Amino acid sequence: MASQANDNVWIDPDMQRAFARMAEIATQYDLPADRSVLTPEQARRRMELDRGWWNEDRPELARIVDTAVPGPGGDVAVRLLYPVAPTGPLPVIVYLHGGGWVVGSLETHARGMHYLALKSGCLVAAVDYSRAPEAKFPVAIEETVAVVEHLVARGGDWGADPARIALAGDSAGANLAVGAVLELRHRGASPIGALGLIYGVFGDDLATGSYQEFDGPWALTTADMKSYFTHYLRGPDDYDDPRAVPMKADVTGFPPSFLHCAGVDVLRDDSVRFDAKLRAAGVPGDLVVHAGVTHGFMGLTRMVPKAHAMIDGIARDVTAALDGVGR
């Protein structure tokens, strides 16, 4: 994340302090600050270094299990985060981390996912999906579907309730969550009872108002998004596939969908537009815009209270929707 500011944009004071801490962390290693010159491998390494301090002092969980399920191209790794020792089947949130489909991991997003498990009381099944450009669209979606189908068929083995499954994710992970719902619907009735979508990539229009307003000094840039799309998609035809660009999807009959986005983010208008599309189709849910924070703020729980407020909101709304499905 960048630390520069624009005098015309209000930044939450806690976010400003987080910017300063990120700048300090960036002085501790020698990878270039300019993401555009990094290879995918270097970008992944940089994100792991950037996020290391932010993921320390994770809240304690009852149990953490690393496992895997069969996928279309081999085993798909899954980390199971148990908030409590289950005395009965737990509702489950299948979580997909962000990182432009290219970077990010179960470790870079660990602290936020721990809090999501604790706040929701759900088993969080975090998917270690294959990343681009080595695995292009739609591999990560197909792997996510494999995890959901495993939960439906054998969720009891994990202490999960197959009747209460939600999908959630941040940034590219939110995009994958919607893509997985569309793929599940294509294969038959979707078992997903709720969606939690955090500053997601929903459109391919890189000239929206928020792209124009926040490109440059903030956490995510237009150049970043162009690069991520290039790495992720196989070619121009994929831009017409609604699993890749959910703004082009028919969302009729979607499960209750709860969106949260950052007020200072090139992707803000993606959430605003996708929320409008969902509500026009009669999908229950709402959108919360968190003022003064930037893309990726979910990962800043050590310093930014709005990250906790966002996680609390997702946890509350998703579990309420799942309770309505399962009871």
pLDDT digits (tens, 9 = 90+) for 142-182: 999 999 999 999 999 999 999 999 999 999 999 999 999 99
pLDDT tier, 326 (very low <50, low <70, confident <90, very high otherwise): very low
Q: Please check whether the domain covering 13-326 is classified as CATH 3.40.50.1820.
A: yes
- Token reading at 47: 């994100």
pTM, whole model, 2 decimals?
0.96
- Asked if 169 and 93 count as a contact pair (C-beta separation under 8 A), the reply is no
Q: For residue range 75-90, what is the model confidence (pLDDT) as tens digits?
A: 999 999 999 998 899 9
DSSP secondary structure, 288-301, as one string: EEEEEEETTGGGGT
**Can you give the residue ranges of every domain in the chain?**
13-326
| Residues noted as catalytic | 171, 265, 295
* Residue 60, CB-side half-sphere exposure with 13 Å CA sphere: 2
Q: What is the rounded distance in angstroms from the CA atom of residue 193 to the CA atom of residue 217?
A: 38
Q: Which of 155, 74, 173, 76 is nearest to 116 (CA)?
A: 173
**pLDDT tens sequence across 234-282:** 999 999 999 999 999 999 999 999 999 999 999 999 999 999 999 999 9
